[in-house]
Structure 1
Amino acid sequence: MPLRNRFKDTIQAPSINDDEELESTTPSPAPDTSDPVKLDLWNKKHSLQKEVNKLRRKHERSLLTTRKFLFPLGVLFGILLAFAFVQPSDIQDMHAQLTLLMDQYDITLPQLPDFDFSRFESEWNRLRSNIPELWKFNRDGREFQVGERMKARGLSAEYPVVLIPGVISTGLESWSTTPEYRPFFREKLWGGLNMLSQVTFNREKWIAAMMLDPITGLDPPDAKIRAAEGIDAASSFIQGYWIWSKIVENLAVVNYDTNNLYLAPYDWRLSYWNLEERDGYFSKLKTTIEGFKRRQKRKTVVAAHSMGATYFLKWVESPEHGGGGPDWVENHIEAYISIAGTHLGVAKAMAAFLSGEMKDTVQMNPAGSYVLERFFSRAERRKLFLSWAGSASMWIKGGDAIWGNSTSAPDDPHEDSVHELETNDVRERRCGHTHGELISFRHVPVSAPMHEGEKDEKVDTRLLNEDNAAGVQNMTSEMAGQWILEHTPSSFQKMMATNYSFGIERDGEALTRNDLDHTKWTNPLEVKLPNAPSMKMFCVYGHGKETERSYWYTRGDFEHDESGADGIAPLCTDPNNQTGLCVGLTQRNPLDMPLLRKSWIDAEYTDETANPKVRNGVKMGEGDGTVSLISLGAMCVEGWKRRRWNPAGINVTVVELPHRPVASMPRGGANTSDHVDVLGSTALNEIILKVATGASHEVEETFVSNIRTYARRIQWD
């Protein structure tokens, strides 16, 4: 009876309309107004009921998250998965096995017409052949085509080729023999399907293994992760998601193999110093190139993606490191091809270090964002990023001289015409933002993203006003850089001070001294190109895909952290009395009170009418979808044209590739120029093969953006 009554009450409950509040199913009459206590209780009761109904509507699940949808979907997926493993031999034996089974259990069926199982087999095979295997979705028939065309012209391997992957491209393997890590010895913890398995079912162990020791910057206790070796180390990230494989395929057509082609994988988590200290990476690379010269009597073509190889070019010349001398690059490197190089840094690296976010995370749909936060929160992502010292090499470089100030930036979009019908307020809102303010704050209440165990909180405008009083305001790249460092642990500050530099050097004598300072070698604004006048240099990158350039941030309550940057008089102390951005230890409050405020991208703020556009708190700019146009091309078209940074007069050829993806292709097809997918584009493959086969004179400068205009606005002098 109770169950039946409960069901009856349920089906008789009134429905919820969008425009009115849901009242109690059995409203009680108002009490006697002469009794103020009862009247007050009655009002509170109905007020609470309204709040409950509001919450019900707010958290009402959509059909896509209900069992009615997920259960049939799971059944369908299971059936398709089962059929995917059906082999032709299974179909051939089906008739005999069915007959044997019926005889064994004495099952008699009515007489049925003869069924032609051979026809069923042929139809099944035809159906299966028309369904592409998951890992072949990116095969579009262009495999080897660029190489075939070059071969038809009579071009063949001329120079040995070294391929240097970008950040996160190289697969990482576990070499730990401790009991907790033995189950996946020699298995990939980064890259491959095994990574997905470990992240899903062994998340805590995976994070512990992948995170570096914050003090040494090397492996944590009991864990040992090393870069995979060979061409397969970065050919594909997982099965079906290629990285370098298309370039390798086309090079193979023109007679390249493991005797004259080398892919140089590395543990991209490490700082460059530790990469040599632990793995001897640059020594191995130097030995490989010298071996090519000794055996084949040819210089080497180096093609580097994303993070590039400019550090190696300085390391190898240094008498205290590579010991190659000032002429080593001239004698051993035929050409250097920078593919989507992050020469001046990446804005998304700044956001990742500050709050563990980037465009890819804040622009996810609500369901995906919720799953990501529950499974791998912003705080966890940030802590992991901060332990990877190698990724800090993508910190933006050059400060306000390169990236702009609070008034304007070199790559700010400019209006070609005035809209007559616009009011001044609308025009100011549409044109009033500048990329020169890397981090901006909006003075309106916003909701903080919800995390596990947290309540939905509202950030009061007073918080932002208090921030302004404390000196927190819209920030240029220099201000943001120091502010972000103040909000990082002291171990990260020390790592930055001992490995990297992000300024701009205009004095020739200082640039010469920097040849011996390894902290400057990742910054092209603080070192000279090598003394290699005959070396050819190519900057090849994509343009035409919206790229995150700057951000709208908001702040929340105080929380405990390893830094005290939001306490009274935040200070960074340098124990070595060196100058620089916030080096050394951050002083803490003696009472160890929570001194750090939560900061996150203001994902609620979207303004498509603004110029630049704002989507989920991200101000969009020009680039290849990952790296801003300024970082991709400014040094190539202007900086390295000056003798100050290019005293040998190395010829730098710039090729911009327009982003013209094919909507039906998962990776964009032959004309994509996305930061990663460009490695499979026809144009880039042609350039690499022409340079490698001795036809580099056919590569011509091509511009599809306004990079030359933007570069002229930069304060080089």
Structure 2
Amino acid sequence: MSDLLDAFDYQLPEFNFEGLKYDSMLPADVKEHFDKLFSDSRRWFETLDFQVGRSLAAEGAKPKHPMILMPGIISTGLESWTTSEDEAAYFRKRLWGSTSMIRNVLFDKEKWVKHLSLDTVTGLDPPGVRVRAAKGLDAASYFAAGYWIWSKIIQNLAAVGYDINMIYLAAYDWRLSMYNLEERDHFFTQVKTQIELNTKISGEKTVLCAHSMGSTVALYFLKWVEQEAGAAWIDQHIEGFINIAGTMLGVPKAMAALLTGEMRDTVQVPPLLSYLLERFFSSTERAALFRSWAGSASMLIKGGDAVWGNDTGAPDDRPDAQVTQSHIYEYAARGNVSEDANTPEASQSVKSQKFTADQALPWLMQHAPSDFQKMIKTNYSNGFERDPKQIKRNNKDHTKWTNPLEVALPNAPNLKIYCVYGWGKPTERSYWIRTGPNAYSDHTPGIGGNHTDAGKDKHLRNHTSAFPYLPTNRIDARINFEDAVPKVESGCRLGEGDGTVSLISLGSMCVHGWNLKRYNPAGIKVVTREILHQPDEMDLRGGPKTGDHVDILGAHDLNDVVVRVAVGRGHEVEEKIHSPIREYAAKIQW
């Protein structure tokens, strides 16, 4: 018990654990088993963490390029800077990214939601609340005590000689739109300044190393700095961009979360836990919170049917598929006759509906408040541009900078890109949806803050009349087709990927899109390195061969790529493809 408590980032001094006689309570063989469990884990932490770095150090590797790490969505810790009397107890406390977060959610949910939600009109903090990203390496080294994120990469860089002076973790408030990251926090200006400082101190160019949504943030930064300082600045200051499990063409998971407030993680829990979750923090409340985070909307799928498929098929459909993956949302036939999913459609009063990517985005917008619709329109674009002249014009439009299908990579021929991602883990690709009772889509208490009416002095809750009363939507967890191709689990149709991001989003730009001159006019070299998901069943995080979306940050192959690029041996990183991504990408309507 003492070893277990030591793993947490806060202790429980009110309990007198010393007074408990564990030796007398536990049989000797059980006690020996737990002692071995903790001692083995401790030895794993002491040895394998540094193994990649130590091996390269033994070969003579030394620090060369300063490193800037860009975390993914939800992996940066957020803390309160609110100082009002009611909120002072939260000052500098982690509201996201620590075990204390769980305590806050369980015992003070309303206040936690108030702090974490954004003003749905401005996309910034609601009045009276200030929440900011934590800073330093600790901002994203661990999500909570014992659950590492970037710590393995930091440890392996340290093993070849890196320290805090050469590693900068570019923590950011992942809830904000890219535009507001600069407007409120001057985030991209800070990254640019840090890179210039790196060059001045070390005389070497910097390597950007980004994960998940962080790769989209990095792409936005490259376009932003190209407009601010020119492509020559990038050639002079940035050695390479390591794109780890990047959400380049979006994530179907975001399509489900923003429509329903649900995803595979919430619908596959046991029925009792699902009931408790719905009573405690309903899917409607979750959807409203997600929609207030403009940053999460940057992961909506891009390219439409040309990428994700039409009614006749999708690029990533398997040859033995019984149905296509292209229907992002599918509503089974329902009605007054029967709620049984296996009842023939002809007997139902409500017929089935199917939505491909081109139809799914408008459908999502129709079922969201107008504030959310405006936020999407003013910050993001999810289209597919093939005209080089228009792409050149798009390079000056910040709403296009998160979509690699509408803008070109910077004209910086000396830049190098390394795409590293996992493959081999079932990944949600499309969804069975069912409708629930009607609700006011824009009136979820406690979320969205108060907004100033332009014609009045007082603050009023925002009220949208565009879609005031709509049916709610839920993932239809009753639908399971275990033996089908593709497999359906709890209403989630599974495809290929790293467990979170679909393969077609992870690799299509890397193996094909960025080989096209209109998207890569400088001919920047792009190396793709897939990591086959081969988890260690005895390791809760998958071990050194995992390809899981988050756990890949601890994989040996990934760490080897990162350290080699950092020490100036990026030319040794070889392309390695395990999946059929080249075949899938070739079927996209480029």
Q: TM-score, normalised by structure 1?
A: 0.73
Would the alpha carbon gap of residues 511 and 124 (structure 1) be closer, same or farther in structure 2, given more than 3 Å must change? closer
Superposition map of 1:108-119 within 5 A: none
Would the alpha carbon gap of residues 137 and 674 (structure 1) be closer, same or farther in structure 2, given more than 3 Å must change? farther
Provide the C-alpha distance between the structure 2 equivalents of 1:504 and 1:124, rounded to a whole number of angstroms: 60
Q: 2:393 aligns with which of 510, 513, 528?
A: 513
Provide the C-alpha distance between the structure 1 equivalents of 2:466 and 2:30, rounded to a whole number of angstroms: 69
Q: Does 1:651 align with 2:525?
A: yes
Superposition map of 1:189-338 within 5 A: 189-307=95-213, 308=215, 309-318=218-227, 323-338=228-243
Provide the C-alpha distance between the structure 2 equivalents of 1:124 and 1:376, rounded to a whole number of angstroms: 38
Q: 1:414 aligns with which of 301, 319, 324?
A: 319
Q: 1:166 aligns with which of 64, 68, 72?
A: 72
Equivalent residues of 1:165, 1:264 under 8 A apart: yes
Cα-to-partner distance string for 1:113-171 (whole Å, 9 max, x where unaligned): xxxx9xx9x99998875452999698384121111101100001011111000000000
Partner of 1:366: 271
Letter of the aligned partner of 1:489 in structure 2? P
Letter of the aligned partner of 2:511 in structure 1? V
- Which is greater in Rg? 1
Would the alpha carbon gap of residues 501 and 588 (structure 1) be closer, same or farther in structure 2, given more than 3 Å must change? closer
Q: Does 1:544 align with 2:544?
A: no
Q: Does 1:713 align with 2:587?
A: yes
Report the 3-state secondary structure (helix = DSSP H, G, I; strand = E; otherwise coil) of the residue aligned with 2:295.
Answer: helix
Following TM superposition, by how much is the alpha carbon of 1:439 offset from its aligned partner in structure 2, in angstroms? 1.0
Q: 2:86 aligns with which of 155, 163, 180?
A: 180
Following TM superposition, by how much is the alpha carbon of 1:463 offset from its aligned partner in structure 2, in angstroms? 12
Partner of 1:437: 327
Letter of the aligned partner of 2:508 in structure 1? A
Partner of 2:477: 603
Superposition map of 1:609-624 within 5 A: 609-624=483-498
Following TM superposition, by how much is the alpha carbon of 1:410 offset from its aligned partner in structure 2, in angstroms? 0.2
Q: 2:565 aligns with which of 691, 713, 716?
A: 691
Q: 2:294 aligns with which of 370, 373, 389?
A: 389
CA RMSD of aligned residues (A): 3.0
Partner of 1:669: 543
Size of the aligned set, in residue pairs, is 553
Provide the C-alpha distance between the structure 2 equivalents of 1:210 and 1:138, rounded to a whole number of angstroms: 36
Following TM superposition, by how much is the alpha carbon of 1:292 offset from its aligned partner in structure 2, in angstroms? 0.5
Following TM superposition, by how much is the alpha carbon of 1:226 offset from its aligned partner in structure 2, in angstroms? 0.4
Report the 3-state secondary structure (helix = DSSP H, G, I; strand = E; otherwise coil) of the residue aligned with 2:404.
Answer: coil
Partner of 1:494: 374
Q: 1:152 aligns with which of 58, 76, 84?
A: 58
Provide the C-alpha distance between the structure 1 equivalents of 2:531 and 2:52, rounded to a whole number of angstroms: 16
Provide the C-alpha distance between the structure 1 equivalents of 2:43 and 2:318, rounded to a whole number of angstroms: 37
Equivalent residues of 2:335, 2:348 under 8 A apart: no
Provide the C-alpha distance between the structure 2 equivalents of 1:137 and 1:306, rounded to a whole number of angstroms: 30
Would the alpha carbon gap of residues 168 and 248 (structure 1) be closer, same or farther in structure 2, given more than 3 Å must change? same
If asked which structure has higher relative contact order (CA below 8 Å, sep 6+), I would say 2
Report the 3-state secondary structure (helix = DSSP H, G, I; strand = E; otherwise coil) of the residue aligned with 1:314.
Answer: helix
Following TM superposition, by how much is the alpha carbon of 1:560 offset from its aligned partner in structure 2, in angstroms? 3.1
Cα-to-partner distance string for 1:269-303 (whole Å, 9 max, x where unaligned): 00001111000000000000010011111000110
Cα-to-partner distance string for 1:32-64 (whole Å, 9 max, x where unaligned): xxxxxxxxxxxxxxxxxxxxxxxxxxxxxxxxx
Cα-to-partner distance string for 1:539-565 (whole Å, 9 max, x where unaligned): 0000000000011112234333339xx
Following TM superposition, by how much is the alpha carbon of 1:630 offset from its aligned partner in structure 2, in angstroms? 0.2
Q: Does 1:503 align with 2:383?
A: yes
Partner of 2:285: 380
Provide the C-alpha distance between the structure 2 equivalents of 1:295 and 1:649, rounded to a whole number of angstroms: 30
Equivalent residues of 1:135, 1:239 under 8 A apart: no
Following TM superposition, by how much is the alpha carbon of 1:352 offset from its aligned partner in structure 2, in angstroms? 0.5
Letter of the aligned partner of 1:293 in structure 2? T
Equivalent residues of 1:347, 1:548 under 8 A apart: yes
Equivalent residues of 1:463, 1:556 under 8 A apart: no
Would the alpha carbon gap of residues 180 and 639 (structure 1) be closer, same or farther in structure 2, given more than 3 Å must change? same
Provide the C-alpha distance between the structure 2 equivalents of 1:704 and 1:376, rounded to a whole number of angstroms: 40
Provide the C-alpha distance between the structure 1 equivalents of 2:488 and 2:345, rounded to a whole number of angstroms: 24
Provide the C-alpha distance between the structure 2 equivalents of 1:446 and 1:135, rounded to a whole number of angstroms: 56
Report the 3-state secondary structure (helix = DSSP H, G, I; strand = E; otherwise coil) of the residue aligned with 1:599.
Answer: strand
**Identity level (%):** 50
Would the alpha carbon gap of residues 255 and 558 (structure 1) be closer, same or farther in structure 2, given more than 3 Å must change? same
Provide the C-alpha distance between the structure 2 equivalents of 1:287 and 1:375, rounded to a whole number of angstroms: 44
Letter of the aligned partner of 1:697 in structure 2? H
Provide the C-alpha distance between the structure 1 equivalents of 2:236 and 2:178, rounded to a whole number of angstroms: 24
Provide the C-alpha distance between the structure 2 equivalents of 1:706 and 1:265, rounded to a whole number of angstroms: 34
Partner of 1:340: 245
Equivalent residues of 2:336, 2:349 under 8 A apart: no
Partner of 1:553: 433
Would the alpha carbon gap of residues 586 and 407 (structure 1) be closer, same or farther in structure 2, given more than 3 Å must change? farther
Report the 3-state secondary structure (helix = DSSP H, G, I; strand = E; otherwise coil) of the residue aligned with 1:269.
Answer: coil
Which runs of 5 or more structure 1 residues have no equivalent in the other structure? 1-80, 95-116, 416-430, 449-455, 564-584
Q: Does 1:529 align with 2:409?
A: yes
Provide the C-alpha distance between the structure 2 equivalents of 1:504 and 1:145, rounded to a whole number of angstroms: 43
Cα-to-partner distance string for 1:621-680 (whole Å, 9 max, x where unaligned): 000000000000001000000101000000100000000001111101110010000000
Which runs of 5 or more structure 2 residues have no equivalent in the other structure? 1-11, 444-462
Partner of 1:102: none
Report the 3-state secondary structure (helix = DSSP H, G, I; strand = E; otherwise coil) of the residue aligned with 1:702.
Answer: coil
Cα-to-partner distance string for 1:319-338 (whole Å, 9 max, x where unaligned): xxxx2112111111101000
Equivalent residues of 1:447, 1:457 under 8 A apart: no
Provide the C-alpha distance between the structure 2 equivalents of 1:225 and 1:133, rounded to a whole number of angstroms: 39
Provide the C-alpha distance between the structure 1 equivalents of 2:42 and 2:146, rounded to a whole number of angstroms: 6
Letter of the aligned partner of 1:188 in structure 2? R
Partner of 2:5: none
Would the alpha carbon gap of residues 183 and 371 (structure 1) be closer, same or farther in structure 2, given more than 3 Å must change? same
Equivalent residues of 2:380, 2:402 under 8 A apart: yes
Cα-to-partner distance string for 1:375-416 (whole Å, 9 max, x where unaligned): 11101110100000001000000000000001100000112x
Would the alpha carbon gap of residues 588 and 521 (structure 1) be closer, same or farther in structure 2, given more than 3 Å must change? closer
Report the 3-state secondary structure (helix = DSSP H, G, I; strand = E; otherwise coil) of the residue aligned with 2:328.
Answer: strand
Equivalent residues of 1:353, 1:386 under 8 A apart: yes
Letter of the aligned partner of 1:626 in structure 2? T
Report the 3-state secondary structure (helix = DSSP H, G, I; strand = E; otherwise coil) of the residue aligned with 1:139.
Answer: helix
Q: Does 1:562 align with 2:442?
A: yes
